[in-house]
A and B are shown apart, each in its own frame.
Chain A
Amino acid sequence: MREAERAEAEGAEVEREPREAGRAAGGYVPEGISDAFAEGARGVREPAAGGGRPPSGGPSLPSLGWVGALRWIWRQLTSMRVALMLLMLLAVAAVPGSVLPQRNQDQAKVLEYLADNPTAGEWLDRFGFFDVYSSAWFSAIYLLLFVSLVGCILPRSAAHWRALRGRPPRVPSRFGRFPATGTVTSSATPDEVVAAVADHLRGRPWLPTFRVDVAAEQATDTRPAAATVSAERGYLRESGNLVFHLALVGLLVSVATGQLLHYRGQAIVTEGRGFANAVVDYDTFEKGAWFQASSLSPFSMTLDAFESDFASDTVAFGQARDFTAYVTVTEPAGDSHAETVKVNHPLVVDGAKIYLQGNGFAPDITVTDADGEVAFSGRVPFLPEDTMYTSRGVVKVPDVSAGLEQIGLVGYFLPTAVFEEDGTVRSGFPQPTDPLLVLEVYRGDLGLDEGVPQNVYRLDTASLTTSVDETGERVRLLVRPGETVELPDGLGTVSLGAEIPRYVALDLRHDPSLAYVLVFALLALGGLTVSLFTPRRRVWVRATVSDGGSTVVRVAGLARGDDAGLQPEVDRVLAAVPGTHQEG
């Protein structure tokens, strides 16, 4: 409260200064901003413009019909107060997205939440709480904020453009109320003093500090003739501020463009196999509204080998230390070359980035049916569920021989099998030192013939028959590499290949806006730094001849915002005065 009063007081004080102050300062100040530095300018201009609105005015209702109403709305929207409200709203609106599961991150969690909280969940869903960052309300807040920002910044930019070519504001008539002042007496003439001070303020030619005007005041009834200096530094402060705000707009636009043009595909590739960069070759594929298939560069890639490294010391036992995928990339032109993909080091091919997002084991499994026919043969990726790579997988065996049922095998692959006392098995280390496949067996209609897309990692066992042993326990098949084991109930056999191939989960992403996003982000950072740390100061000097014949030099300084360096700046000016005897 007291601060606001101070701002008003200072504004009022500067108001009495010469009119030129307004033009030189650049003029435009957003509605509701409190800034003694710029407010002086406003105080000067507004009475001249014939009244205008009250400077601290709260919302005053329009009386000018709908054009007036629109203008009123626009003025409110671009005011500092509303910008502040929108910023606060934005902060609050971002929070639910960290508390509730989000579709774009974890679809399964959202479904789980909906199942657990049917009523609340439905309402939350209706209001977009599972897609917070693309919801109408979140978008509305940031779009309004950006409209406000543009409405606020464009006029300010124009004003700043004029101010950049303006001159420092003329010397105020009284120095008393400025936050930093000083006086010295000198034996030099006023003109000599002013020349020396101007020289000091201008700084070195290769590093100019202040923009300086030197002038002379004629004697009047109330005061003697004087030589004056008016100087201003720190125009870059406002430049930085504007660059920062405009860069935010650029950032928003480039992020949005990237959203429209990008694509992202996921593929699971096992050792020795490959894939082509085409929509059909991906397990999942997601794209922006303006994506065109032609932006997929037709290269292809083979996974030659995959290597992993895990800590084996007692403290960090089993913790991942390094993953490397060795691949061969074949360019559209036909030439191929060997590359590696590592976590943190995506491979860039034709502007698309390929990431190593996951890895695991894809054991080679062959199932023969009761008739001895091979019903299934292939590599089955098992998904790791813990740090020791206890991995879960499903084999869905179709009915190749007439009259037989379909078979489902569900179970775990353990790279290093460890048998517990109670008969359970677990994996003791992520590397395949003693691999074991543990399977349960189901039979019935797996729905393989309906042509309905299915999750390959899940088997709905509700309608299936489980194989049990004599005691009624579920049969648990243990298969080691190179072994063939009989399926229960005479269903046939299952065998595991001697080699356990690895697989990698690759993410391929292309976003043409990345460079722009980075440039605008860095521009924002640079602009912000300049605007926060460039001191913006005005210094005025008036040198007059006193009755005693010596020269009295008065100096005043004004800064934008808090500026601990203002008084030292004034002190340096005082020190630059030639021929001083004593300090006043």
Chain B
Amino acid sequence: MQIAELSVLLVWAAATALAIALVAFATDLARLSGTRSEARAVARAAREAVAVGAGPTSAGAAYGPGTSDAGPTPVRRRAAGIGMSTTWLGALLLLAAIVLRGIAAGRTPWANMYEFTLVGTFVALAVFLGVNLRRDARFLGAFVAGLGTLFLVLGVNVFYIEAMGVQPALQKYWLVIHVGVAISATGIFTVSFVASALQLLRDGRDSGSPYLASWRWLDSLPTPTALEAQSFRLNAVGFVLWTFTIIGGAIWAEDAWGRYWGWDPKEVWSFVIWVVYAAYLHARTTRGWSGRPAAWFVVVGYACVLFNFTGVNLIFNGKHSYSGL
């Protein structure tokens, strides 16, 4: 069998592992939601007590560190354990697929949409697994694994092209740096998006949204504040990487295209993404905009990231037409 074909097989294997992880993590969330409803009633009572305005368990305590783990109830979470192992397995299979793809093409394996999808998914998985080494963030698992499965299946079915070399404009070490950093930022934004989306859902349920009344699994998530903190930590890293992506891209464009900035569609959307995340950072510290409104910026920002990757490549005809499709 050819190396390139083996790589595709491994991608399918990774997608399968992630699909299993998705099911496992979802089972875990469903189980937790049973055990957590009680805890939630207690927490609500406590919160109301705070609102009345007494005691050292002030609102500030909920913002302190240590609240990001899901809570004190010791539940056996076998399903989550299975989810973690299969996610590890999926990540390793995907890594092997990426390496083989690089060998087959004889270059860095991130020069077109298919490869970008593989590597971006891998980074998202790696970030998720990495965060879990330091604190319990398994509640993100169902969504990270779900998005990962979706991306891999889309990648193979829609974006796939044969492994081959690249045209002269791409032959530079900046391919490794600029694109590599862009993919890392995208992977990180994927995980922070999940955290912010969950924050919005949980916040909506806590404030009594009728649409979310039946979504009991939301109760087993950390507080919206803890989710926001988690999302921010990732977004901060993602934003710095994105800034570097743009600067690196400009330096490269200066050599490859003869200008560092030319408002090419890809450049426009990278700029839009940057401004949206900058607005997010400002919103967080602006009175009346922190919390829920700020989280919407993350959702919008991530939508722009996805559009920049898919729409801009496929619809607009710019200089970044390297998808090979």
The chain A residues found within 8 Å of chain B, CB to CB, are 1-7, 9-10, 32-35, 56, 80-81, 83-84, 87-88, 90-91, 94-95, 97-99, 102, 104-105, 132-133, 176-180, 255, 264, 311, 313, 315-316, 319-323, 342-346, 353, 355, 357, 507, 509, 514, 517-518, 521-522, 524-525, 528-529, 532-533, 561-568
Contact A532 B236 (CB under 8 A): yes
Q: A-B pairs with CB below 8 Å: how many?
A: 181
Quick one: given A176-B56, A346-B255, A517-B260, are A528 and B288 in contact (CB under 8 Å)? no
Contact B276 A80 (CB under 8 A): no
Contact A177 B58 (CB under 8 A): yes
Contact residues, B235-268 vs A (CB, 8 A): 236, 239-240, 243-244, 247, 250-251, 254-265, 268
Contact A94 B272 (CB under 8 A): yes
Q: Separation in Å of the B87 CB from the closest CB of chain A?
A: 23
Give Cα A80–Cα B292 distance, bound, in whole angstroms: 17
Q: Separation in Å of the B237 CB from the closest CB of chain A?
A: 8
Quick one: given A95-B268, A357-B258, A562-B229, are A179 and B286 in contact (CB under 8 Å)? no
Contact B65 A105 (CB under 8 A): no
Question: Which residue of chain B has the shortest Cβ distance to A525 in the bound complex?
Answer: B243
Q: Separation in Å of the A172 CB from the closest CB of chain B?
A: 14
Give Cα A9–Cα B247 distance, bound, in whole angstroms: 40
Q: Separation in Å of the A339 CB from the closest CB of chain B?
A: 16
Contact B286 A32 (CB under 8 A): yes
Contact residues, B203-239 vs A (CB, 8 A): 224-225, 228-229, 232-233, 236, 239
- Contacting residues, chain A, for B224 (C-beta < 8 A): 2
Give Cα A529–Cα B182 distance, bound, in whole angstroms: 17
Contact B288 A4 (CB under 8 A): yes
Main SS class of interface, B: helix
Give Cα A532–Cα B259 distance, bound, in whole angstroms: 30
Contact A97 B282 (CB under 8 A): no
Give Cα A322–Cα B285 distance, bound, in whole angstroms: 50
Contact B64 A566 (CB under 8 A): yes
Cβ-based interface call for B16 (8 A):
no
Cβ-based interface call for B291 (8 A):
yes
Contact B236 A323 (CB under 8 A): no
Contact B285 A34 (CB under 8 A): yes
Give Cα A33–Cα B261 distance, bound, in whole angstroms: 33
Cβ-based interface call for B164 (8 A):
yes
Contact A133 B291 (CB under 8 A): no
- Contacting residues, chain B, for A320 (C-beta < 8 A): 167-168
Contact B292 A177 (CB under 8 A): no
- Contacting residues, chain B, for A255 (C-beta < 8 A): 261
- Contacting residues, chain B, for A9 (C-beta < 8 A): 58-60
Given contacts A2-B225, A315-B162, 14 further A-B contacts (CB under 8 A): A6-B59, A33-B286, A81-B289, A84-B286, A104-B262, A132-B263, A177-B60, A179-B63, A264-B258, A315-B163, A315-B164, A316-B165, A319-B165, A507-B258
- Contacting residues, chain B, for A91 (C-beta < 8 A): 272, 275-276, 279
Cβ-based interface call for B283 (8 A):
yes
Quick one: given A3-B290, A32-B287, A94-B272, are A321 and B282 in contact (CB under 8 Å)? no
Contact A321 B291 (CB under 8 A): no
Contact B264 A525 (CB under 8 A): no
Give Cα A581–Cα B247 distance, bound, in whole angstroms: 54
Question: Which residue of chain B has the shortest Cβ distance to A317 in the bound complex?
Answer: B164
The 7 A-B residue pairs whose C-beta atoms are closest, nearest first, are A3-B291, A34-B287, A343-B168, A98-B268, A316-B164, A87-B279, A98-B265
Contact A525 B56 (CB under 8 A): no
- Determine which of A32, A88, A509 lies in contact with B258 in the assembled complex, contact meaning CB atoms within 8 Å: A509
- Determine which of A90, A94, A344, A567 lies in contact with B169 in the assembled complex, contact meaning CB atoms within 8 Å: A344
